[in-house]
């Protein structure tokens, strides 16, 4: 049955969350490691799905700790052979497999340049895991579907737990697995039926929902074989909105407790073109005729964003099956992508 593997892996997410919450010791060790260093900036090293999770970690650190966070350019080392100077820099490497040669090469160069390295992988014995000063196991278990689901959710929660440990608030997410179970139970059949992949899809987020917008776009591209944009609403207004038409399908990622003002301007301007609008999350402003897919009822926007990742993953899975594709093994893709 098409999608059987990925459906099973999405259903495992609450259990993955429980394992991560029970593994608080490693996050306390991360806090001790960081506290022993004079960290003045952070770089996040990732590719693909993990690169979308990297944006989530970036927002977390910048909003909760207030130090600058950048995303690495591995080709600066692998192609341009740059000499790095990374004293007082924390590098966090995020990767499902921990194997990609460009990530490993960059991590090696960063450590040689004085960086402190923390890795998050789903492979305890991977090169990135072994190279790190401290490794955080994603504890997602074997992931067989090519399109990552439970490992992405684990990256989001691990990023959250890392930052919460850093600021001494590690137990802030104790009920997230129960929230995740409720998202798994939501009926999304009508919303899936309303989506037509023959028409343009644009997925928009802001702040903590921006990583999910990027990841949802990637997942639809991987599984449904169409081009999809995943953007910040702010960036969308700076040019791409000129291509908006009445046939465009706009997905807004709006987790519970999201500040209303973060998207008001974009929503108002987008509605002027009368596209078909879908709302993912309970923090939106749906009007009559717009489609409320559902979302998590969460104590804050950050937890809501983590739980709502399950919602769009379920939507993409069912959309793919509806359109006759196999989301477990999309043509042209492999589980581990090795870039140099």
Q: Which fold has domain 4-174?
A: Rossmann fold (3.40.50)
Work out the number of other CB atoms within 10 angstroms of the CB of residue 248: 18
Q: Are 164 and 303 in contact (CB under 8 A)?
A: no
Structure tokens at 234: 């702010």
Give the pLDDT confidence score for residue 210 in this predicted structure.
98
User: For residue 285, what are the CA distances in angstroms to 143, 233, 240?
Assistant: 36, 14, 22
**pLDDT score at 328:** 82
> What residue spans define the domains of the chain?
4-174, 187-322
Amino acid 333: pLDDT = 64
Tokens for 116, please give them: 């402190």
Distance of CA 59 to the CA centre of its chain: 12
pLDDT at 146: 86
The owner of tokens 């459906």 is: 7
Q: What is the pLDDT along the chain (340 residues), one digit of tens a residue?
A: 678 999 999 999 999 999 999 999 999 999 999 999 999 999 999 999 999 999 999 999 999 999 999 999 999 999 999 999 999 999 999 999 999 999 999 999 999 999 999 999 999 999 999 999 999 999 999 999 988 999 999 999 999 999 999 999 987 777 999 999 999 999 999 999 999 999 999 999 999 999 999 999 999 999 999 999 999 999 999 999 999 999 999 999 999 999 989 999 999 999 999 999 999 999 999 999 999 999 999 999 999 999 999 999 999 999 999 999 988 877 766 656 778 7
- Whole-number pLDDT of residue 228: 97
Backbone phi, then psi, for 258, in 5-degree steps?
-65, 135
CA distance 297 to 182: 9
Identify whether the C-beta of residue 109 lies closer than 8 Å to the C-beta of residue 93: no
Superfamily (CATH H level) for 187-322: Glucose-6-phosphate isomerase like protein; domain 1 (3.40.50.10490)
Count of beta carbons in the 10 Å neighbourhood of residue 259 = 11
Q: What is the pLDDT of residue 332?
A: 65
Do 46 and 103 meet the contact criterion of CB atoms below 8 Å apart?
yes
């Amino acid at each position: 049955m098409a999608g059987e593997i990925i459906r099973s892996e999405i259903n495992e997410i609450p259990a993955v969350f429980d394992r991560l919450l029970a593994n608080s010791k490693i996050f306390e060790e991360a806090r001790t490691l960081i506290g022993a260093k004079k960290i003045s900036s952070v770089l996040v090293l990732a590719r693909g799905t993990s690169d979308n999770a990297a944006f989530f970690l970036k927002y977390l650190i910048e909003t909760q700790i207030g130090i600058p966070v950048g995303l690495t350019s591995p080709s600066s080392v692998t192609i341009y052979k740059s000499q790095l100077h990374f004293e007082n820099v924390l590098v966090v490497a995020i990767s499902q497999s921990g194997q990609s040669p460009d990530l490993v090469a960059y991590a090696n160069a960063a450590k040689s340049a004085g960086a402190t390295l923390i890795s998050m992988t789903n492979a305890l014995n991977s090169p990135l895991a072994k190279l790190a000063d401290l490794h955080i196991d994603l504890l997602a278990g074997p992931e067989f579907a090519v399109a990552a689901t439970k490992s992405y959710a684990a990256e989001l929660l691990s990023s959250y737990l890392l930052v919460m440990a850093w600021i001494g608030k590690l137990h802030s997410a104790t009920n997230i697995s129960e929230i995740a179970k409720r998202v798994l139970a939501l009926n999304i059949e009508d919303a899936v039926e309303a989506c037509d992949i023959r028409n343009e899809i644009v997925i928009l987020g802001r702040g903590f929902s921006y990583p999910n917008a990027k990841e949802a776009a990637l997942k639809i591209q991987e599984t449904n074989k169409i081009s999809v944009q995943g953007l910040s609403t702010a960036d969308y207004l700076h040019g791409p909105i000129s291509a908006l038409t009445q046939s465009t399908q706009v997905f807004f990622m709006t987790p519970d407790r999201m500040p209303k003002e973060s998207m008001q301007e974009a929503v108002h301007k987008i509605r002027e073109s009368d596209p078909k609008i879908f709302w993912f999350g309970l923090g939106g402003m749906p009007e009559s005729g717009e489609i409320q897919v559902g979302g998590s009822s969460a104590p804050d926007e950050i937890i809501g964003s983590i739980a709502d990742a399950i919602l769009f993953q379920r939507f993409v899975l069912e959309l793919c099956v509806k359109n006759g594709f196999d989301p477990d093994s999309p043509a042209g893709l492999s589980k581990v992508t090795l870039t140099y």
